Amino acid sequence: MRELKVELGERSYPIYIGEGLLQDAATFFKNHQISLKSPLMIITDERVAPHYLEPLENHLRDAGFTVANAVVPAGESSKSLTMLEGLVTKALEAGLDRKSTIVALGGGVVGDLAGFVAASYMRGVKFVQIPTTILAHDSSVGGKVAVNHPLAKNIIGAFHQPEMVLYDLNTLQSLPPREVSAGLSEVVKHGLIWDAEFTAWCEDNAERLLALEPDALGYALYKGCSVKAAVVSKDERENDLRAILNLGHTIGHALEAVAGYGELLHGEAISIGMIGSARLGLRYGASEEVYTTTKRVLSKMGLPVKLAEHFDVEAIMDAMMHDKKFSESTMVFVVPTEIGKVEIKKDVQAAWVREIVEQLKLEA
């Protein structure tokens, strides 16, 4: 088992990464003072529930916990105010109180949604992240929790840190190949923003990662979580440094919104967004190697690096205007300057971005 810590003073918490951790979840819960006296509620989705919900519930009940559950539809559409209200109703019906804990069992959607339930229920209760996708190695760390608005992704949310992140690598073995690739997009992102050597390692070990080899996967997730933890520890609420974690997200979130949160998986949209950011980097003096390396590594992970022809450029531009990274009439982008280093540019002209989105349709 690998362990690391998000250093946030009184809100610090550990990340545990290893095989078979769900089978000992009760020990982790007790070690982190998850209450035995107050009910806890596991929130998961329809894809994850058949695999892991019942075994986890039975295990926790056998250890003395009172457990309720809520199963939501899989996919981005569950991150809504309507779903939030329904989950609060379930929490009330299950008797959850101020000392209760919400457990997020699933991918990024479940983590964001369950975390926001925890942040808002009775003005905030404990929660635990149990990610079951590769993509969630990013979203499960850092305390950003949210639901979507029809006009903008993650626009209704809070910062609410978990008590711990319990990452059982065995839960990743059931992922379909497309979701494996999509999850590796955020792994690569952490290398591109922070660690050139890790980026090279990802390229060299792409086949092992796609095959879900435990040693390679455990190392990659540990490195990715380490970058996220280091950044969050220095800037919890995205006042400055944490914004570098948004590499590829300005364009990527817009693509998701235009595609109706279905045609493109989050990691696929971010992959295309990172290609756009690399192209933007060329305007700011980055070498051609930054662009070609970004494209090559993402391609080796089986990720899209080109925008489908049917996407409407103006619709994408409109969606970007609703993004949280657009403020005071200035577009904000995270731009790579070299592999492993990025800068936050707050003076990006919309005309440049429109041109780059058009170029994304022409990628070879």
3-state secondary structure the chain: CEEEEECCHHHCEEEEEECCHHHHHHHHHHHCCCCCCCCEEEEEECCCHHHHHHHHHHHHHHCCCCEEEEEECCCHHHCCHHHHHHHHHHHHHCCCCCCCEEEEEECHHHHHHHHHHHHHHHHCCEEEEEECCCCHHHHCCCCEEEEEECCEEEEEEEECCCCCEEEEHHHHHHCCHHHHHHHHHHHHHHHHHHCHHHHHHHHHCHHHHHCCCHHHHHHHHHHHHHHHHHHHHHCCCCCCHHHHHHCCHHHHHHHHHHCCCCCCCHHHHHHHHHHHHHHHHHHCCCCHHHHHHHHHHHHHCCCCCCCCCCCCHHHHHHHHHCCCCEECCEEEEEEEEECCEEEEEEEECHHHHHHHHHHHCCCC
pLDDT value for 142: 95
- Residue 111 annotated as lining a ligand binding site: yes
Q: Work out the angle between the directed axes of helices 196-204 and 214-234 (0-180°, nearest 10).
A: 160
Mean pLDDT of the chain: 94
Kindly state the tokens that stand for 47: 């894809």
Residue in 41, 192, 216, 20 with CA at minimum distance from that of residue 114? 41
- Residue 249 annotated as lining a ligand binding site: yes
pLDDT in tens, the chain (364 residues): 999 999 999 999 999 999 999 999 999 999 999 999 999 999 999 999 999 999 999 999 999 999 999 999 998 899 999 999 999 999 999 999 999 999 999 999 999 999 999 999 999 999 999 999 999 999 999 999 999 998 888 899 999 999 999 999 999 998 999 999 999 999 999 999 999 999 999 999 999 999 999 999 999 999 999 999 999 999 999 888 999 999 999 999 899 889 876 789 999 999 999 999 999 999 999 999 999 999 999 999 999 999 999 999 999 998 888 765 555 556 889 999 999 999 999 889 889 999 999 999 998 7
Is the separation of the CB atoms in 274 and 296 below 8 Å? Answer: no
Catalytic residue numbers read: 123, 144, 186, 228, 238, 242, 246, 249, 253, 266
pTM: 0.92
Interatomic CA distance for residues 186 and 180, integer angstroms: 11
Interatomic CA distance for residues 76 and 215, integer angstroms: 30
- Residue 110 annotated as lining a ligand binding site: yes
- Residue 267 annotated as lining a ligand binding site: no
Is the separation of the CB atoms in 202 and 209 below 8 Å? Answer: yes
Cβ neighbours of residue 27 under 8 Å, at least 6 residues apart? Answer: none
Kindly state the tokens that stand for 37: 């006296």
Edge-to-edge strands of the sheet including 2-6?
A: 2-6, 13-18, 165-168, 126-131, 101-106, 40-45, 67-72
Interatomic CA distance for residues 40 and 131, integer angstroms: 17
- Residue 144 annotated as lining a ligand binding site: yes
